[in-house]
Amino acid sequence: MNQPATPERCARWGVYEVELHGPADGNPFTDVDLTAVFSDGEREMRAGGFYDGDGTYRIRFMPDAEGLWTFTTASNAPVLDGVTGEFACTAAAPGAHGPVRADGFHFAHGDGTRYLPVGTTAYAWTHQAEGLRDRTRRTLAAGPFNKVRMCLLPKWYQYNHVEPEYYPFPGSAEEGWDTTRFDPAFFRRFEQEVAALQDMGIEADVILLHPYDRWGFADLGAEADDRLVRYAVRRLAAYANVWWSMANEYDMMGAKSEDDWERLAAVVSEEDPHGHLNSIHNCGPFYDYARPWITHASVQRQDAYRTAEFTDEWRERWGKPVVVDECAYEGDIDQGWGNISGEEMTRRCWEGAVRGGYVAHGETYVNEAEELWWSKGGELVGTSPARMGFLREVVAASPTGVLDPLPSNWDARTGGVAGAYEVTYFGFSRPRFRELPLPEGKRCRVDVIDTWNMTVERVADDAEGTIRVTLPGREYMAVRVVAQQ
Amino acid sequence: MNQPATPERCARWGVYEVELHGPADGNPFTDVDLTAVFSDGEREMRAGGFYDGDGTYRIRFMPDAEGLWTFTTASNAPVLDGVTGEFACTAAAPGAHGPVRADGFHFAHGDGTRYLPVGTTAYAWTHQAEGLRDRTRRTLAAGPFNKVRMCLLPKWYQYNHVEPEYYPFPGSAEEGWDTTRFDPAFFRRFEQEVAALQDMGIEADVILLHPYDRWGFADLGAEADDRLVRYAVRRLAAYANVWWSMANEYDMMGAKSEDDWERLAAVVSEEDPHGHLNSIHNCGPFYDYARPWITHASVQRQDAYRTAEFTDEWRERWGKPVVVDECAYEGDIDQGWGNISGEEMTRRCWEGAVRGGYVAHGETYVNEAEELWWSKGGELVGTSPARMGFLREVVAASPTGVLDPLPSNWDARTGGVAGAYEVTYFGFSRPRFRELPLPEGKRCRVDVIDTWNMTVERVADDAEGTIRVTLPGREYMAVRVVAQQ
């Protein structure tokens, strides 16, 4: 029997890893089954192991409660079967709050800390050279974003014509891939970046499959898809900051039917003992976000003119949090999905926010190096990220920590907490003043918020009844009413 | 018998007026019936007369063909009955092209000259004091507008709390109106302004009824409504530049049912021998613009975010020209319908134009005097009017003189004449370049149009195949492709 030298302790929501040594001959990826059951004495949780090359097998697990945990392996390879061990789960590391969960129409970490998605998109950043990845990490560390939407597999698309250093399978596009085996180096690279994000407090919204492909990865067939998804989930599920996205633009992947997506989602559910968030992103028609495995809607623009404006309708339709992962990107490329202004990007974020949802960022400015943030990462040059950080502060200051849609006038939506914290957003309307009825019987503080210039001006401390608020006659203003205790 | 001293000649599409003298006692408005049949030897056309006070009766007629015209009156007052006369209809005055008619999805004057509506709104301008009316006329004379939407009746509403000099009926709001009689001075004032517009080549879109009322004029009852509409049409129909609008925001006039509107429209049809354009304007739900008496749709915004973007759908729905008379107004008042920027106003005009319709202007900037252009007239201070004049030039340069919707990419609509004159409008999209397929087998001139800065830059004279057009990465750009002969 294999007595592993496993760590004696693991912080709550950290990655606990059992390393084992076993068969290296044949095809260990398919020949060897390996799982482990972890227990804290009350619950048993099963985690699948994976072959990491060179005779090394690993089982990763994210303990979600402090105390003593034990584990026992099971395998068809005798040397990997019945291995046992134990470890102490210690307090969470500073800043670690556990995986994000859906909480009604919003999100919270495992420890209950409110999580307000301020998302961006950099689909292929992990597949770029180290210099560029380093710049991406620095940009993320300096910016307001706490979620990055990113593809597991490399990407081939407009502005994306770089071969990655690693591929998921041994082989080549020209001579074919051995989809019964994986290249551990490919996955290690990806994991390293997921871990780097976790260190920065950023969620990794991992897109398992996507259509932007020249290698055949978008059409591997059901068995290879299942193997790929199982292997990826077993490697990644112990990272607390992982979200699953079954696909980007699932409806552009003609080779897969809804049955395929449902089967693949079941693989994720089966292989992820930690129940990370899961969704699937559309290009045209929505997937049915009411499906039980889907924790939140991950929406792409439905209309060239309106997207965020549907947020509250979508909440009601699916009864889940709404994340508008693509409402178009700030930039100036030739495509209509990637050339809106920072002002319009910010406007969409606010329109979504006062309707109780979360609109995400992307940036697609043409540059010499063809390093567009939305895919390769690098530097941000746009104007919307700072405003998204400012918006987050306004949302976070609500007594519930979130905004929910409130009864509104037709021309300016109000969101917040009824009678306590009400934010009315004027968008492209430019009133010079507005009469606002204050919550009945309450004395209120009233702020004029310039969402573009990121200023908050107190205009009343102790108002009641109806207040006439003077505004500057510019676009992108909001008024916040806060009831005093 | 009354032998009138009538003019011996009248220019084509001018106002020919028969003045008669008859009974002044009793109630001439209701007691006396007076009509005349005019004939050019081929056609007979019936025009109703009206009492103009002080024993004077008038019959107005707009001859639409050169040559000799004769007329004979009929009346229940013997002195007004059987009066005959004749006159020569001479060539139209310079610049007079006859009433505007619907022409498929567009408009043309009686002589076939294309008419492209560049409309504005000044609901109550004719009810203001002379000094202000004079300023309004000067503004109109200097500006790009060739249609003004204006109310026959005085208006009482936000920013409209001025009593008019005249009322349509004798009486008062306090003591009641005698709706069986009219005050000719009220109508003369209005006619004088209609005529002033005609002299400037501007169409008067006359709103017969509206809900903005403190005097009871919005709820006179069916008989008084019929009398009022009949009297107004008899006075105004001979002005070539008149359009009828049965109502503004008809659905805000709760006292009237659809049957009332249909009955009142039939009064207009019966009393207008010249068949002027007629429509009815909504606030919320549309009137059924497919009704035979409706010549064109006169639309108000359906959505806070999209309006002009529906233009092509509406054309198809009703098979008639679409005029978006209210898509919101450039300004900064507290109401969402009146505080968009000049940029957004201009964008809506272009979005409507490339879809083959006509979006109109209004201006609602707060000012000290409470003289908002949209209602009282005065001066324009906004930025969109000049851009609307520029847009008109781009439309007029099409070989058909109009734009019709053409097959388009989802993110930028194209309008024009297929293969000959194609204008693609990018709106808030800001591409740095765009690849455009040119009409097959044609050599083309290509212009980059900055719809905001009102510039046209020729970027190719003789291109074919697909052209990559470089753009400045700003909002509000268009590209025009013109096939060379």
Average pLDDT for B421-445: 97
Number of compact structural domains in chain B: 3
In the numeric block, which tokens belong to residue A458? 């107190």
3-state helix, strand, coil in chain B (%, to 5): 25, 30, 45
Give how far B388 is from chain A: nearest CA, Å: 20
Q: Are residues B296 and B371 in the same domain?
A: yes
Q: Are residues A371 and A243 in the same domain?
A: yes
Beta-strand relationship, B56-61 and B44-51:
antiparallel
pLDDT band at residue B387 using 50, 70 and 90 as cut-offs = very high
- Cβ distance B475 to A341 less than 8 Å, yes or no, reads yes
B243 CA to centre of own chain: 5
Residue B401 lies in a domain: no
Q: Are residues A199 and A294 in the same domain?
A: yes
Average pLDDT for B28-47: 98
- Cβ distance A332 to B475 less than 8 Å, yes or no, reads no
Q: Are residues B317 and B194 in the same domain?
A: yes
B333/A contact by beta carbon, under 8 A: yes
- Cβ distance B336 to A410 less than 8 Å, yes or no, reads yes
pLDDT band at residue B5 using 50, 70 and 90 as cut-offs = confident
Question: CA-to-CA distance for B444 and B421, rounded, in angstroms?
Answer: 9
What are the pLDDT digits (tens) for B122-163? 999 999 999 999 999 999 999 999 999 999 999 999 999 999
Write the ipTM.
Answer: 0.94
- Name the one residue in this structure whose structure tokens are 């304007």: B281
Strand pairing partners for A326? A300
Residue A275 neighbours by CB distance under 10 Å: 13
Residue B139 lies in a domain: yes
Query: What is the domain-level CATH number for residue B282?
Result: 3.20.20.80
- Name the one residue in this structure whose structure tokens are 């004077």: B56
Chain A residues in contact with B306 by the CB 8 A cut-off are 303, 305-306
Which of A306, A341, A430 shows the shortest C-beta gap to B339? A430
Question: CA-to-CA distance for A139 and A128, rounded, in angstroms?
Answer: 15
Domain boundary among A396, A417, A444: A396
CA distances (Å), origin A448, targets A60, A468, B326 = 50, 12, 29
Q: What is the pLDDT of residue B262?
A: 98
Which structural domain range is residue A29 located in? 9-90
Sign of CA dihedral B282, B286, B288, B289: positive
pLDDT at B101 over 90: yes
Q: What is the pLDDT of residue A420?
A: 98
Domain boundary among A64, A90, A116: A90
Domain boundary among A396, A431, A460: A396
Q: What is the pLDDT of residue B207?
A: 98
Task: Kindly compute the dihedral angle of the four CA atoms of residues A453, A456, A458, A462, in this order, to the nearest 10 degrees.
Answer: 140
Q: Are residues A174 and A233 in the same domain?
A: yes
Residue B2 lies in a domain: no
Question: CA-to-CA distance for B380 and A405, rounded, in angstroms?
Answer: 38
Residue B4 lies in a domain: no
Residue A95 lies in a domain: no
Average pLDDT for B207-227: 97
Chain A residues in contact with B383 by the CB 8 A cut-off are none
Chain A residues in contact with B339 by the CB 8 A cut-off are 429-432, 473
Q: What is the pLDDT of residue B302?
A: 84
Residue A1 lies in a domain: no
Average pLDDT for B225-240: 98
Mutate to test the interface with A, among B312, B345, B346, B411 (most CBs of A within 10 A): B411
Q: Are residues A31 and A133 in the same domain?
A: no
Sign of CA dihedral A205, A206, A211, A215: positive
Q: Are residues A67 and A128 in the same domain?
A: no
Put residue B55 in one of left, alpha, beta given phi > 0 → left and psi -120 to 50 → alpha: left
pLDDT band at residue B2 using 50, 70 and 90 as cut-offs = low
- Cβ distance A339 to B431 less than 8 Å, yes or no, reads yes
Instruction: Name A133's Cβ contacts closer than 8 Å, sequence gap at least 6.
Output: A125, A126, A193, A377
Residue A258 neighbours by CB distance under 10 Å: 12
Q: What is the pLDDT of residue A341?
A: 98
What are the pLDDT digits (tens) for B165-206? 999 999 999 999 999 999 999 999 999 999 999 999 999 999
Q: What is the pLDDT of residue B323?
A: 98
In the numeric block, which tokens belong to residue B192? 């004088």
Find the distance separating the first CA and the last CA of chain A, reported in whole Å.
Answer: 65
Q: What is the pLDDT of residue A302?
A: 84
Q: Are residues A287 and A269 in the same domain?
A: yes
Give how far A219 is from chain B: nearest CA, Å: 27
Q: Are residues A335 and A475 in the same domain?
A: no
Q: What is the pLDDT of residue A103?
A: 97
Residue A112 neighbours by CB distance under 10 Å: 10
Residue B163 neighbours by CB distance under 10 Å: 12
- Cβ distance B431 to A305 less than 8 Å, yes or no, reads no
Q: What is the pLDDT of residue A1?
A: 52
Residue A223 neighbours by CB distance under 10 Å: 10
DSSP labels, A369-406: T---HHHH------SHHHHHHHHHHHHHTSTTSS-EEE
Strand pairing partners for B247? B209
- Cβ distance A334 to B304 less than 8 Å, yes or no, reads no
Q: Are residues B468 and B342 in the same domain?
A: no
Report yes or no: A395 and A402 within 8 Å, Cβ to Cβ. yes
Q: What is the pLDDT of residue A3?
A: 64
Which of A332, A337, A409 shows the shortest C-beta gap to B473? A332
What are the pLDDT digits (tens) for B60-72? 999 999 999 999 9
Report yes or no: B341 and B330 within 8 Å, Cβ to Cβ. yes
Report yes or no: A61 and A36 within 8 Å, Cβ to Cβ. yes
Q: What is the pLDDT of residue B263?
A: 98
Residue A52 lies in a domain: yes
Q: Are residues A266 and A341 in the same domain?
A: yes
Residue A312 neighbours by CB distance under 10 Å: 22
Q: What is the pLDDT of residue B289?
A: 98
Residue A3 lies in a domain: no
Instruction: Name B121's Cβ contacts closer than 8 Å, sequence gap at least 6.
Output: B148, B149, B150, B325, B326, B329, B360, B361, B362, B374, B375
Q: What is the pLDDT of residue B1?
A: 52
Question: CA-to-CA distance for B99 and B108, rounded, in angstroms?
Answer: 8
Report yes or no: B385 and B118 within 8 Å, Cβ to Cβ. no
pLDDT in tens, chain A (485 residues): 556 778 899 999 999 999 999 999 999 999 999 999 999 999 999 999 999 999 999 999 999 999 999 999 999 999 999 999 999 999 999 999 999 999 999 999 999 999 999 999 999 999 999 999 999 999 999 999 999 999 999 999 999 999 999 999 999 999 999 999 999 999 999 999 999 999 999 999 999 999 999 999 999 999 999 999 999 999 999 999 999 999 999 999 999 999 999 999 999 999 999 999 999 999 999 999 999 999 999 999 888 899 999 999 999 999 999 999 999 999 999 999 999 999 999 999 999 999 999 999 999 999 999 999 999 999 999 999 999 999 999 999 999 999 999 999 999 999 999 999 999 999 999 999 999 999 999 999 999 999 999 999 999 999 999 999 999 999 999 999 999 97
Q: What is the pLDDT of residue B485?
A: 72
Chain B residues in contact with A339 by the CB 8 A cut-off are 429-432, 473
Give how far B415 is from chain A: nearest CA, Å: 17
Q: What is the pLDDT of residue B162?
A: 93
Mean pLDDT of chain B: 97
Q: Over pLDDT 70: what percentage of chain B?
A: 99
Q: Residue A334 in 3-state DSSP?
A: coil
Q: Are residues A78 and A131 in the same domain?
A: no
Report yes or no: B211 and B255 within 8 Å, Cβ to Cβ. no
Q: What is the pLDDT of residue B6?
A: 83
Average pLDDT for B90-98: 97
